[in-house]
Structure 1
């Protein structure tokens, strides 16, 4: 039986991407937050999700994304587990595989994409599977 792990989110960046490089590997790792809204009848719920992008995609995120940017993120869900002060901790985040900038209603132009379809993708190079979580510089 095969398993399927795919996440598609549309939201706004909550902070500018933080881009660092894996020591000795020249591999960019970008982290940023995404706010995603969900409306239910009379109330609105906002979720804050951590996004991680590797390689060229991470570099592009650092160059073009800013706080408040509307973005469509496609990727997979990942869980980090660690121990802190003797207690097991865990955190979910989305590993981005494709990111598209979405024009806001106020923005009539300014296509900041690197691809002809208005998006940019990791292209398979610099995959997070090539190294362990200990290699990530933050």
Structure 2
């Protein structure tokens, strides 16, 4: 039996990416949030549910993300689900997050304004992670 860990999300960036560098190796790491909406019907009315998901990108993908991605921008993120655990002030903590392997900037339909500063591209832009290093690390390795 094979295994598959693949996540594809389409949503809006909730905060500007924060780019830091792993001490020792100097590998760039970008962290940002993505809001993903789901609409469903409950009885006779429609309800909206929003999930806020943490995204991490490594190496060149992190640098490009930090340079071009801004809050409010629509993105398609393709990656894998990870689970991290750490201890903070004597309390064990854990969370799921997505490690991005591919990020595609989605252009807005004509007539909608771009919330980010600068010019909006009329074409979608795709960024792919070619980082093949070991990105499993201890919580203390990440500088934020």
Cα offset, 1:23, TM superposition: 1.7
Report whether the alignment pairs 1:4 with 2:11. Answer: no
Pair 1:58–1:32, CA change in 2 (3 A): same
Tell me by how many angstroms 1:47 deviates: 0.2
Instruction: Report the Cα distance in structure 1 between the residues aligned to 2:139 and 2:3, rounded to whole angstroms.
Output: 22
Larger Rg: 2
The question of whether the paired residues in 1 share the 8 Å contact of 2:58 and 2:131 is answered with no
- What TM-score do the two structures reach when normalised by structure 1? 0.86
Q: Identify which of 126, 130, 142 aligns with 1:136.
A: 142
1:54 and 1:126 in contact (8 A); partners too: no
Give the stretch that moved more between structures: 83-92 or 63-72.
83-92
Give the alignment's Cα RMSD to 1 decimal. 2.3
Aligned equivalent of 2:126 = 119
- The answer to whether the 8 A contact 1:32-1:51 is kept is yes
Alignment CA distance shift 1:85-1:110 (3 Å): closer
State how far apart, in whole Å, the 2-side matches of 1:112 and 1:101 are: 10
| Residue equivalent to 1:27 | 27
- Deviation of the 1:126 alpha carbon: 4.8
Equivalent-residue separation in structure 1 for 2:134 and 2:128 (angstroms): 12
Matched pairs, number: 134
**Contiguous gaps of at least 5 residues in structure 1:** none
Alpha-carbon distance between aligned partners in 2 of 1:10 and 1:126, rounded to the nearest angstrom: 26
The counterpart of 1:68, out of the listed 60, 72, 84, is: 72
After TM superposition, give the deviation of residue 127 of structure 1 in Å: 5.0
Q: 2 CA distance for matches of 1:62 and 1:100?
A: 14
Q: Are 2:31 and 2:57, in contact at CA under 8 Å, matched by a contact in 1? A: yes
Per-residue Cα deviation, 1:49-87 (whole angstroms, up to 9, x for no partner): 000000000000100000000000000000111223443
* 1:103-118 map, 5 Å: 103-105=107-109, 106=112, 110-111=120-121, 118=125
Q: Distance in 1 between matches of 2:96 and 2:88?
A: 16
